[in-house]
C-alpha cells in the first residue's frame, strides 16, 4: 500500500508542477523557467523547516510567495520576447537558478553535524514528515488537499472573466490588445500564479524526497513541466492531471517491469499519444462530452 501512496504523492507534486506551466501556457507562452521556481520553493521550504525549525505550512507559504515574486520579477523582462526567444530566455533563467543552487553553500553547525545546502553535494536530511510522525497516507492526503485547492482555484478562474482574458491573450494577442487588454499585465500575472504553484510544488518535493540537489531542477524537469499540460490538453485543469498519471503512473512506474525497453517505449508512447490526440488527452470535445454526461439537465437547458 505504501508504494501506491508514494506514487500518489509523486503524482500530486508533479501535477502542481504541470499546473504551474498550465497557467503560463494559457496565455500562449512557453516557459521553461518553471523548474527554477520549483527549485526556489524546494530550497526555501527545506531551509525553513530544517534550519529554522518552521512548521511546514508557513514554510510552504513563504516558498509560494518567493516563487511567485521571482516569477513576477522574471516575467517583466522575459515576456517582452515571444515564441522561441521566450523559450531561450526562460531556459537561461532556469539554468541560472540551478547553477545558483549548485554554488549555494549555507550550512549551520548542529552538534557534530553540519546541515543545510552544500553546493553541488546538495541539501540532505529534509525529514520533516518522518520526524513528525507523518504516515505515508497522511503525507499523500496533505499533498492532495493542496493539489485539490490549486485545481479548484484554477478551475474557478477558468470560468471567470480572468480566465477568459487569459485564453483571449493566448489565442490572439493582437485582438486582445485591440480590445483593451493589457497583455503584459496578463502574461506577468499568469507567470506569477505559475511561480506560486511551482513554489508550493517544490516545497513539497523537497520534503518527500528528503534530499535535493541542483541536478534535479534541470532542463529535463522543465520539459516535463510543459509536457504535462500540452500532453493533457489545455481545455481544463484535468488534462494536466491525466497527463501526469499517464507519464508518472503508467510510463514510468507501470512499465518498470519492461527493464531496458521502458525508455524506448516511453518516448514512443508520448509521440503516439500526441499523434492520436493532437490537442491533448482531454481536448475541448472530450471536455464537452464529460460535461454533457455529468450535467445533462443544464446542458439541455442551455440548448
Partner 1 sequence: MKGLNIAAAALLCGAAICLSDGAAAQERIVKITGFGAKSGVVRVFGVNSEAAMKAAAEVINASGGVTLGDGTKAKLAIEFLDDRCNAEEGISVVRRIAATDAFIAVGPTCSNVAESLFGILQKKVNDPSDSGLQFPIIADVAAKGGLAKISEWAFRNVPSEFEMYKSLFAWLRKTHPNLKSIWGGVEKDFAHSNATFNVMIQQAESNQFQVLGKSEWLLADTTFSTQVREMKRANPEIVVISAHPFTTCGVLREMERQGVKPKLLIGLTSSSSIETLQGCAKQAEGIIIPTSFAPVNAEAQKAATNVAKHGGSADLHSAAAYEIMFILKDVIEKQKIMARPDTVAADRVKMRVGLAGLKTTFGLLGTVGRTEDREAIKPYLYVHAKKGTWQVLHTP
Footprint of partner 1 (CB under 8 A):
1-3, 6-7, 10, 102, 119-122, 124-127, 129-135, 208-211, 213-216, 252-253, 256, 259-260, 262-263
* Residue found under cell 523559450: 87
Q: Which is nearer to partner 1, 22 or 217 (CB)?
A: 217
Q: What's the closest the beta carbon of residue 240 comes to partner 1, in angstroms?
A: 18
As a whole number of angstroms, the distance between CA 216 and CA 14 comes to 13
As a whole number of angstroms, the distance between CA 229 and CA 252 comes to 17
Q: Which is nearer to partner 1, 17 or 242 (CB)?
A: 17
Q: What's the closest the beta carbon of residue 195 comes to partner 1, in angstroms?
A: 22
DSSP string, 145-198: HHHHHHHHHHHHHHTSHHHHHHHHHHH-HHHHHHTT--HHHHHHHHHHHHHHHH
DSSP string, 189-220: HHHHHHHHHHHHHHHHHHHHHS-B-GGGGSHH
Q: What's the closest the beta carbon of residue 121 comes to partner 1, in angstroms?
A: 5
Q: What's the closest the beta carbon of residue 70 comes to partner 1, in angstroms?
A: 23
Cβ(244)–Cβ(252) below 8 Å: no
As a whole number of angstroms, the distance between CA 199 and CA 22 comes to 14
As a whole number of angstroms, the distance between CA 136 and CA 205 comes to 14
In degrees to the nearest 10, what's the CA dihedral of 214, 86, 83, 233? Answer: 40
Q: What's the closest the beta carbon of residue 202 comes to partner 1, in angstroms?
A: 13
Q: Which is nearer to partner 1, 179 or 263 (CB)?
A: 263
Q: What's the closest the beta carbon of residue 185 comes to partner 1, in angstroms?
A: 36
All cell numbers assigned to 157: 478562474
Q: Which is nearer to partner 1, 208 or 246 (CB)?
A: 208
Q: Which is nearer to partner 1, 174 or 257 (CB)?
A: 257
Q: Which is nearer to partner 1, 91 or 235 (CB)?
A: 91
Amino acid at each position: 500500500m505504501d508504494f501506491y501512496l508514494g506514487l500518489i504523492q509523486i503524482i500530486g507534486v508533479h501535477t502542481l508542477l504541470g499546473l504551474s506551466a498550465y497557467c503560463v501556457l494559457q496565455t500562449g507562452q512557453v516557459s521553461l523557467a518553471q523548474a527554477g521556481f520549483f527549485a526556489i520553493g524546494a530550497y526555501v521550504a527545506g531551509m525553513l523547516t530544517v534550519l529554522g525549525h518552521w512548521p511546514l505550512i508557513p514554510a510552504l507559504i513563504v516558498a509560494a510567495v518567493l516563487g511567485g515574486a521571482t516569477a513576477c520579477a522574471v516575467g517583466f523582462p522575459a515576456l517582452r520576447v515571444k515564441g522561441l526567444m521566450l523559450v531561450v530566455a526562460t531556459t537561461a533563467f532556469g539554468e541560472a537558478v540551478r547553477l545558483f543552487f549548485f554554488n549555494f553553500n549555507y550550512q549551520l553547525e548542529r552538534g557534530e553535524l553540519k546541515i543545510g545546502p552544500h553546493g553541488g553535494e546538495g541539501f540532505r536530511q529534509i525529514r520533516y514528515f518522518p520526524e513528525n510522525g507523518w504516515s505515508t497516507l497522511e503525507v499523500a492526503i496533505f499533498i492532495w488537499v493542496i493539489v485539490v485547492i490549486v485545481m479548484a482555484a484554477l478551475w474557478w478562474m477558468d470560468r471567470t472573466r480572468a480566465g477568459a482574458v487569459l485564453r483571449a491573450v493566448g489565442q490572439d494577442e493582437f485582438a486582445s490588445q485591440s480590445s483593451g487588454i493589457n497583455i503584459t499585465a496578463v502574461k506577468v500575472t499568469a507567470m506569477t500564479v505559475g511561480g506560486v504553484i511551482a513554489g508550493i510544488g517544490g516545497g513539497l518535493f523537497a520534503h518527500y524526497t528528503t534530499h535535493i540537489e541542483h541536478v534535479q531542477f534541470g532542463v529535463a524537469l522543465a520539459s516535463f513541466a510543459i509536457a504535462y499540460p500540452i500532453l493533457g490538453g489545455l481545455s481544463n485543469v484535468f488534462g494536466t492531471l491525466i497527463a501526469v498519471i499517464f507519464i508518472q503512473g503508467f510510463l514510468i512506474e507501470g512499465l518498470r517491469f519492461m527493464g531496458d525497453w521502458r525508455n524506448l517505449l516511453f518516448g514512443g508512447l508520448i509521440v503516439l499519444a500526441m499523434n492520436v490526440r493532437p490537442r491533448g488527452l482531454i481536448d475541448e470535445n472530450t471536455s464537452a462530452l464529460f460535461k454533457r454526461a455529468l450535467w445533462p439537465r443544464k446542458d439541455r437547458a442551455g440548448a
